[in-house]
Amino acid sequence: MLQCIFLISDSGEVILEKQLTGHKVDRSICGWFWEQSISQGDSLPPVITSPTHYLFKVVREGITFLACTQAEMPPLMAIEFLSRVADVLTDYLDALNEDLIKDNFVIVYELLDEMIDNGFPLTTEPNILKDMIAPPNIVSKVLSAVTGTSSNVSNILPGATGSSVPWRTTDLKHSSNEVYVDLVEEMDATISREGRLVKCETYGEVQVNSYLSGVPDLTLSFANPSVLSDVRFHPCVRFRPWESHQILSFVPPDGLFKLMSYRVKMLKNVPVYVKPQLSSDNGVCRINVMVGIRNDPGKTMDSISVHFQLPSCVASAEMNSNHGTVNILANKTCSWSIGRIPKDKAPSMTGTLVLDTGMERLHVFPTFQVGFKIMGIALSGLQIDKLETKNLPSNPYKGFRALTRAGVFEVRS
Amino acid sequence: MAPPSQSYKSPSPSQPSGKGEVSDLKLQLRQLAGSRAPGTDDSKRDLFKKVISYMTVGIDVSSLFSEMVMCSATSDIVLKKMCYLYVGNYAKGNPDLALLTINFLQKDCRDEDPMIRGLALRSLCSLRVANLVEYLVGPLGSGLKDSSGYVRMVAAVGALKLYHISAATCVDADFPSMLKSLMLHDSDSQVVANCLSALQEIWSLEASSSEEASKEREALLSKPVIYYLLNRFKDFNEWAQCLVLDLVSKYVPSDSSDIFDIMNLLEDRLQHANGAVVLATVKVFLHMTLSMTDVHQQVYERIKAPLLTLVSSGSQEQSYAVLSHLHLLVMRAPMLFSSDYKHFYCQYNEPSHVKKLKLDMLTAVANENNTYEIVTELCEYVANVDVAIARESVRAVGKIALQQYDVNAIVDRLLQFLEMEKGYVTAEALVLVKDLLRKYPQWSQDCIAVVGNISSRNVQEPKAKAALIWMLGEYCQDMNDAPYVLENLIENWDDEHSAEVRLHLLTAVLKCFLKRPPETQKALGAALAAGLSDSHQDVHDRALLYYRLLQYNVSVADRVVNPPKQAVSVFTDTQNSEIKDRIFDEFNSLSVVYQKPSYMFTDKEHRGPFEFSEETGGLSVGVESVENIAQIVDANDKDLLLGTSEEEESRGTSSDGSAYSAPAYDSASISLTSSHAQSEPVISNPSLPTYSAQTSLAIDDLLGLSLSSSTTSVPPPPPLKLNAKAVIDPGTFQRKWGQLPIALTQECSISPQGAAALNSPQVLLQHMQGQSIHCIASGGKAPNFKFFFFAQNAEASASFFLVECIINTSSSKAQIKVKADDQSTADAFWNLFQLALTRFGSP
């Protein structure tokens, strides 16, 4: 039972206001919220209480989606809904920023109108929404310029609302039938100062990009589904085949969507090592960080980077590296971008930190955040076995890819 | 006609100055209103866009209302939508003009295009103007029977909107039963869902007045309805599924096969991509199996993985909401999560509210097997940049130590914290070492050796200082320089702002004196002298108590102050299990995020899922609560005072009865207590029996006190006595309350037993009446009560004391304002009042 939704820009200006019930929420609440947001910064929880309302906030690309209510309700529902609003807007506008929203605010209002009524979410399925409200894409802009009719509202009601596959419009036609399946994994790891793997887990998604005509029925199977610790599915996935044979059977939505997300825990190996060494005396701290490949994954590792926050007691810092570039930013973060690891040498970064006067030794040790990207492999070991298609006039083109990135990959010192 | 709007094509208007531009728009709209030239719609669209964008940035464009309505005759759906949006926003403020829109909206409700029918109906119902409801009934009735599911879905919500504008109209038009039949028979699942949500709301609101409605509300929870909804479950979209799941969680299954059927059907929802669906399903599972212990445990095992996945997969905001729920489950059944402790490890750049939840959970799941690793991890956070988290981490280590797993290693770690040279870490660690020693006295040797090395100068925080002083007093025999450290601290008595520290200082120095008299004698004298002249009530009282104890008998003092102590076995949990159960019942709600049951942060009218309040300042969580409630109570003051005269009369008879039986006793006890409260000058009061004067002189001598000379000059005020049968009529009270200045504003605690006993205002009234303090008005519900008391000086009948007392039973705190006819006796009265209040609840 949300009462009102506000969109607030990154300077605290109200971009848009959508009242949902008869109990109008005064927009002065945004002022209150913004004060809190400035004084507490990142530590402001997503669910807070103002003197008059409970507020839920979701921040995407600098835009704050703020929802207000006075009644008890499931907080996750509000947050999920706001996230969907953000997703749908991003989808419609191709990006999300203040100017785009302002330029298209009529569409945003129209969308909100169909997504929520009287404070209760109706539908957030992009396919259904697109049937009702056409996105402001180039085609429709050109069309309107040529024909002079610029209505972006289709005059037919979506046929799918009552159908058994609400995520898919029934009569789709593509000249080329293609379907792409991507495994995208993020590796989260924490490594202690002794180099011990404190925790390591991989979160992955199966992303499908489908351009298929009619109502195709797909079956995706894995070579080793047993590595998965836990899975979550898009509503199109049928539960029983997974339950009995770990097979994903589904009628796909059109375009890009997240078919499944999964978690793989208890991984024993990470593809990269980062060894920081710190020693300090007489108010100076010497720092040395070495980076290299460990347990070679067999594919090229790319975009390797190391970031860390200089402790607040550091007065000045000087950092150098034998490979890549080192930058110290104004907010006292040091970032070292390495790129690929060269064949002939092990990259290392060295430097000295001068501590505030009166400090002998460093008490707060920085945590190093590591970034990398490996194309062509899912580090969890998950492998796609095959993708079968039914209900299609011709055999479609199928493409498979895999990618692993560093998620929250931390090395302590 | 040339479209005039073309010169106005600024894409996103900067804040316009207002008036001039609005009247410009007005002119242009007028010109367009009657035009039928081609291209008019485009110009209109530009103008409408501008109007809406002004509205969006917060400029009042309500003055354009009639022009907008005039321009609304169009077939362009985007124009219509913008117009609906505008009308919906301003109709409530312009009820007369809103009538203008009815006509075209009604016409649109009969349009061929279902989309327009739906939109028009939605806008019609969103006007929310009470005197237009008669125009709603017709379109709503036909909307509910429309051939298009879209229109029926809008109409279902529309019926609910109508109910909120005018409940009687909605019920008279028989909409609830139409909704019911739609809910049970419609082919469109979204229509079913909207009918369900509307009916839930209407019937819960009607239930209080109509028996039929409450039966209908219960019928929603009957097996046929639940099974019907569950059988269609897969047709519903994710949000409607949340709604149905919420309903199912309230359903009481008839037998265990019923439970298993439902759980089997819903099991795959745990894998849903929408976290709200997962959490709603979890709630169903948990609540259905509450009575079946084994299955309940299995449910925990089953829901664990989906919840952990949700935490790691979603955005930061989603994670936090799920984590709060996980936190609740972990606290209920920590052992089930003990092998998953690594999920609760904090990451470097997580926001601190997430880290705090995780620290709590880490502390809870610690057991024999994982303590070492958890404590190692926690120690990492102590070096964290975030000071608040570093502190929490030290506390977490301490809590685990108190749970007595692997204490050995932990004590070493805590002692290392003491040597970390970081002020806040030392401070937290000191407090913990103190608690540890209270539980494990056997560790005193190791701890004292380290604590002895800490210079009291480096400890600034009151809690830590108090802990250090406690240890100095308790273990003064093991610490060579304890008396001298204490002496140093006493020298700086005046700079010590915390009463807690001063209290501990008094106790510690006395303990030390009793064990090592020659070294501490001087310090004790200085401490008692400083304590007796302390402005803080408790410090003063304690100094006086010690002084008298010593005066009476030193060995008795030793027995009182230094008794053999028993190790504390369990520190009480801060949140009682009843509250935890309440929160668990409210799983998947805000209560979980706030870690409070909803009655603690919502007013009664907000507790139901559907009622909103127009007033501001109605909500309260945590710190704000006291203030807010005070505001609310203040706002209600007038009613309270005026409304209680009847009550007063009815209570008058009973108070007469009690006064008849025990007036003498009452006043005697009052005079006793009052002389106690006034006791400072009594020490050297020349009228006291001589033996006391002599001993007091002797001990004064010993301790080097010079109280006698300093205080005899002040004549003691006569003890205050209250009239047990004081009477004041509400009118006089109100007048006096308005006239008199506030003599005192105080805060004090009431005993936990008292807080527990205070379930209705009457209990306290009787208690206070026993102390000759009468109540003239009272009100409130747990946990917040407000009282107005009065009392009369027995010696001066014109001298009344008026008290406003706000008690929060959940925090056991009372805020008191005293007004008095005779300001000079206000302090004496406050002492009496406080004594009476603090005694409340004690046997």
For B186, name the nearest residue in chain A, comparing CA atoms only.
A162
Q: Are residues B677 and B533 located together in one domain of the fold? A: no
Of B11, B308, B606, the CB nearest to A230: B308
Chain B CB contacts of A52 below 8 Å? 616-619
* Region of B346 on the Ramachandran plot (φ > 0 left; ψ -120 to 50 alpha; else beta): beta
* ω into B517 cis (within 30 of 0): no
Whether the predicted pLDDT of B526 surpasses 90: no
More confident residue, B480 or B687: B480
Q: In this predicted structure, what is the pLDDT of residue B406?
A: 65
B395-429 pLDDT, tens digit each: 888 888 877 666 777 777 777 787 777 778 888 88
Domain-terminating residue out of B217, B233, B249: B233
Least confident stretch, B233-237, B350-354, B714-718, B736-740: B714-718
Residue in B557, B336, B565 with CA at minimum distance from that of residue B434: B565
Q: In this predicted structure, what is the pLDDT of residue A7?
A: 92
Q: Which SS3 state, helix, strand or coil, does residue B801 take?
A: strand
Q: Which two tokens stand for residue A52?
A: 């008059």
Strand order in the sheet with B800-808: B744-749, B813-820, B800-808, B784-792, B774-781
Q: Are residues B97 and B22 located together in one domain of the fold? A: yes
Q: In this predicted structure, what is the pLDDT of residue A282?
A: 82
In angstroms, rounded to a whole number, what is the distance separating the alpha carbons of residues A380 and A201? 9
pLDDT bracket for residue B645 (50, 70, 90): very low
Question: Looking at CA atoms only, how far is residue A346 from chain B in angstroms?
Answer: 26
Q: Are residues B544 and B531 located together in one domain of the fold? A: yes
For B306, name the nearest residue in chain A, comparing CA atoms only.
A230
Q: Which SS3 state, helix, strand or coil, does residue A266 take?
A: coil
Rounded percentage of chain B residues whose pLDDT exceeds 90: 6
Contact A162 B321 (CB under 8 A): no
Interface of B with A in 715-744 (CB under 8 A): none
Of A76, A155, A231, the CB nearest to B113: A155
Chain B CB contacts of A120 below 8 Å? 157, 194, 197, 239, 243
B228-277 pLDDT, tens digit each: 999 988 888 889 999 999 999 988 888 888 889 999 888 888 888 888 99
- Averaged pLDDT for residues B489-513: 85
Domain-terminating residue out of B207, B233, B259: B233
Domain-terminating residue out of B233, B251, B268: B233
More confident residue, B27 or B141: B141
Supply the mean pLDDT for chain A.
84
Contact A203 B312 (CB under 8 A): yes
Residue in B293, B366, B298, B360 with CA at minimum distance from that of residue B335: B366
- Averaged pLDDT for residues B637-651: 38
Q: In this predicted structure, what is the pLDDT of residue A206?
A: 93
Whether the predicted pLDDT of A207 surpasses 90: yes
Residue B709 lies in a domain: yes
Residue B172 lies in a domain: yes
| Length reported for chain A | 413
Q: Are residues B24 and B93 located together in one domain of the fold? A: yes
Q: In this predicted structure, what is the pLDDT of residue B609?
A: 46
For B588, name the nearest residue in chain A, comparing CA atoms only.
A74
Highest-confidence range of A46-55, A77-86, A164-173, B26-35, by mean pLDDT?
A: A77-86
- Averaged pLDDT for residues B774-800: 78
Contact B81 A45 (CB under 8 A): no
Largest CA distance in chain B: 113
- Averaged pLDDT for residues B186-204: 90
Chain A CB contacts of B271 below 8 Å? 231-233, 239
- Averaged pLDDT for residues A271-298: 86
Q: Which SS3 state, helix, strand or coil, does residue B527 take?
A: helix
Whether the predicted pLDDT of B394 surpasses 70: yes
pLDDT bracket for residue B603 (50, 70, 90): low
Q: In this predicted structure, what is the pLDDT of residue B533?
A: 86
Q: Are residues B589 and B734 located together in one domain of the fold? A: no
Q: In this predicted structure, what is the pLDDT of residue A394?
A: 80
Q: Which SS3 state, helix, strand or coil, does residue A204 take?
A: strand
Least confident stretch, A262-271, B187-196, B649-658, B693-702: B649-658
DSSP structure string for A295-363: S--SS-EEEEEEEEEPPTTEEEEEEEESSSEEEE-TTSEEEEEEESPPSS---EEEEEEEEPTT--S--
Of A103, A121, A234, the CB nearest to B239: A121
Question: Looking at CA atoms only, how far is residue A255 from chain B in angstroms?
Answer: 18
Contact B128 A22 (CB under 8 A): yes
CATH number at residue B157: 1.25.10.10
Q: Which residues contact B669 (CB under 8 A, 6 or more apart)?
A: B771
Interface of B with A in 222-261 (CB under 8 A): 235, 237-239, 242-243, 246
B651-662 pLDDT, tens digit each: 433 334 333 333
In angstroms, rounded to a whole number, what is the distance separating the alpha carbons of residues B301 and B289? 13
- CB of B392 within 8 Å of a chain A CB? The answer is no
Q: In this predicted structure, what is the pLDDT of residue B164?
A: 87
Residue B273 lies in a domain: no
Q: Are residues B95 and B195 located together in one domain of the fold? A: yes
| Length reported for chain B | 843
pTM above 0.95, yes or no: no
DSSP for residue B778:
E
Least confident stretch, A82-86, B16-20, B430-434: B16-20
Residue B585 lies in a domain: yes
Q: Report which residue type is found at A295.
A: N
DSSP for residue A133:
B
Contact A77 B348 (CB under 8 A): no
Number of domains making up chain B: 4
Q: How many CA atoms lie within 13 A of B54 on its CB side?
A: 23
Boundaries of domain holding B609: 577-639
Q: In this predicted structure, what is the pLDDT of residue B572?
A: 59
Residue B791 lies in a domain: yes
ipTM of the complex: 0.83
Q: In this predicted structure, what is the pLDDT of residue A336?
A: 92
Residue B404 lies in a domain: no
Q: In this predicted structure, what is the pLDDT of residue A65?
A: 93
Of B52, B165, B621, the CB nearest to A49: B621
Q: In this predicted structure, what is the pLDDT of residue A28?
A: 87
- CB of B154 within 8 Å of a chain A CB? The answer is yes
B316-355 pLDDT, tens digit each: 888 888 888 888 888 888 888 888 888 888 888 788 888 8
Whether the predicted pLDDT of B762 surpasses 50: yes
DSSP for residue B406:
S
Q: Are residues B635 and B650 located together in one domain of the fold? A: no
Contact A106 B78 (CB under 8 A): yes
pLDDT bracket for residue A82 (50, 70, 90): very high
Chain B CB contacts of A161 below 8 Å? 149-150, 188, 190
Question: Looking at CA atoms only, how far is residue B228 from chain A in angstroms?
Answer: 17
Place of tokens 């749970």: B403
Q: Are residues B28 and B92 located together in one domain of the fold? A: yes
Residue in B186, B194, B234 with CA at minimum distance from that of residue A166: B234
Residue in A240, A140, A213, A267 with CA at minimum distance from that of residue A389: A213
Q: Are residues B69 and B205 located together in one domain of the fold? A: yes
In angstroms, rounded to a whole number, what is the distance separating the alpha carbons of residues A294 and A269? 8
Contact B239 A365 (CB under 8 A): no
Are B155 and B166 a contacting pair, CB within 8 Å?
no
Residue B748 lies in a domain: yes
Residue B685 lies in a domain: yes
Q: Which of A28, A118, A239 to mutate to test the interface with B (most CBs of B within 10 A)?
A: A118
Q: In this predicted structure, what is the pLDDT of residue B647?
A: 39
How many Cβ contacts (< 8 angstroms) between chains A and B? 276
Q: Are residues B20 and B124 located together in one domain of the fold? A: yes
For β-strands A284-293 and A116-117, DSSP reports them as unpaired
Q: In this predicted structure, what is the pLDDT of residue A403?
A: 92
CATH number at residue B700: 3.30.310.10
In angstroms, rounded to a whole number, what is the distance separating the alpha carbons of residues A41 and A63? 14
Contact A46 B11 (CB under 8 A): no
For B187, name the nearest residue in chain A, comparing CA atoms only.
A162
Q: Are residues B168 and B184 located together in one domain of the fold? A: yes
Whether the predicted pLDDT of B14 surpasses 50: no
For β-strands A397-412 and A178-191, DSSP reports them as parallel
Contact A75 B275 (CB under 8 A): no
Least confident stretch, B422-426, B628-632, B742-746: B628-632
Q: Which two tokens stand for residue B194?
A: 């909207």
Whether the predicted pLDDT of B297 surpasses 50: yes
Supply the mean pLDDT for chain B.
76
In angstroms, rounded to a whole number, what is the distance separating the alpha carbons of residues B587 and B310? 16
More confident residue, B648 or B839: B839
Of A102, A124, A151, the CB nearest to B78: A151
Question: Looking at CA atoms only, how far is residue A148 from chain B in angstroms?
Answer: 9
Q: Are residues B756 and B672 located together in one domain of the fold? A: yes
pLDDT bracket for residue A49 (50, 70, 90): confident
